[in-house]
């Protein structure tokens, strides 16, 4: 009799645990709908073309709200000319398109103008990381493959211009280049945070496509003025303009995003 009861208890506990896991996946926290909408719009527009450098991945779903529906494994950025990343990384479709656009329109022309040579490589410090913003309950955009931390630019002659050393260096050309690519990034991204945004970004330029309340942008990537509203890629505009979500929940800023380690 004891043996029967023990077996029944084990089966019951297994079913309970399994049920919790099952119902947790059904009824647990969900990613904000605008994230999926932006991905679908990007894919439908053909803004990202799969290649050896941009490979489709399967859905990343969880833990919690983390992940993306149809992300890409990216090993190089740019459309007109490719710049390999120091390490392959996962990005959602809108971020791939925005990074390519920024690189082609801003980074390469600035490098040619300031250094007389192109950028042939990009160093970054990460994209996907299922974590909240340091010290806050709000999830980082990194949790949704919706952010990239750029730390350096490798030039054709082998020199690397790094944010950590170059932002306030005595080399006026490096300073000008980094300020240009950081400031103008807010034309393509909704959040740009460089060393001027605080110590948390002293060694990189944080780029993301967060949705801020009332279409607001956070532009602290350089000293150059950015036209109000910027120029979000067309496939993302609809999702970005749908307004804010409840403060502190998925996708909305805290009071001072520039002071946070996003």
- Our count of domains for the chain comes to 2
* Share of residues in the chain with pLDDT > 90 (%): 58
pTM, rounded to two decimals? 0.80
Residue 102 scores a pLDDT above 60: yes
> How many residues make up the chain in this entry?
262
pLDDT at residue number 241:
34
130 and 57 within one domain: yes
194 and 146 within one domain: yes
* Cβ atoms 138, 248 nearer than 8 A: yes
40 and 8 within one domain: no
* Tokens describing residue 197: 């945004």
191 and 157 within one domain: yes
pLDDT at residue number 22:
40
91 and 22 within one domain: no
* Tokens describing residue 184: 């103008």
36 and 20 within one domain: no
d(CA 194, CA 201): 5
At residue 195, the 3 state secondary structure works out as helix
60 and 21 within one domain: no
116 and 19 within one domain: no
Cα atoms in the 13 Å half-sphere on the side-chain side of 5: 2
d(CA 47, CA 235): 8
73 and 26 within one domain: no
Distances from the Cα of 4 to the Cα of 8, 9, 15, 16, 114, angstroms: 6, 9, 16, 18, 79
Q: Which residues contact 25 (CB under 8 A, 6 or more apart)?
A: 62
Residue 71 scores a pLDDT above 90: yes
231 and 243 within one domain: yes
* Cβ atoms 151, 164 nearer than 8 A: yes
Condensed to tens digits (0 to 9), the pLDDT of residues 27-51 reads 567 888 999 999 999 999 999 999 9
Which range marks the domain in which residue 9 is found? Answer: 1-30
Cα atoms in the 13 Å half-sphere on the side-chain side of 84: 4
């Amino acid at each position: 009799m004891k043996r029967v009861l023990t077996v029944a208890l084990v089966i019951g506990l297994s079913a309970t645990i399994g049920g919790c896991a099952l119902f947790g996946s059904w009824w647990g926290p969900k990613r904000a709908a605008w994230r999926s909408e932006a991905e679908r719009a990007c894919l439908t527009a053909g803004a990202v073309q799969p290649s050896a450098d941009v490979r489709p991945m399967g859905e990343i779903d969880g833990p919690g709200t983390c992940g993306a529906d149809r992300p890409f494994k990216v090993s190089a950025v740019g459309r007109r000319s490719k710049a390999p990343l120091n390490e392959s990384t996962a990005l959602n479709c809108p971020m791939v398109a925005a990074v390519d656009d920024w690189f082609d329109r801003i980074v390469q022309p600035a490098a040619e103008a300031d250094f007389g040579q192109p950028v042939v490589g990009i160093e970054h410090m990460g994209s996907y990381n299922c974590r909240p913003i340091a010290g806050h309950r709000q999830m980082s955009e990194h949790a949704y493959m919706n952010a990239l931390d750029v730390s350096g630019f490798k030039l054709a002659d082998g020199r690397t211009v790094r944010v950590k050393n170059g932002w306030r260096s005595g080399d006026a050309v490096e300073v000008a280049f980094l300020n240009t690519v950081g400031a103008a990034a807010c034309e393509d991204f909704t959040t740009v945070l460089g060393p001027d945004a605080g110590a948390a970004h002293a060694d990189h330029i944080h780029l993301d496509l967060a949705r801020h309340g009332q279409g607001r942008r956070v532009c602290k990537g350089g000293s150059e003025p950015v036209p109000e509203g910027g120029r979000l890629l067309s496939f993302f505009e609809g999702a970005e303009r749908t307004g804010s979500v409840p403060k502190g929940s998925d996708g909305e800023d805290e009071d001072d995003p520039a002071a946070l380690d996003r």
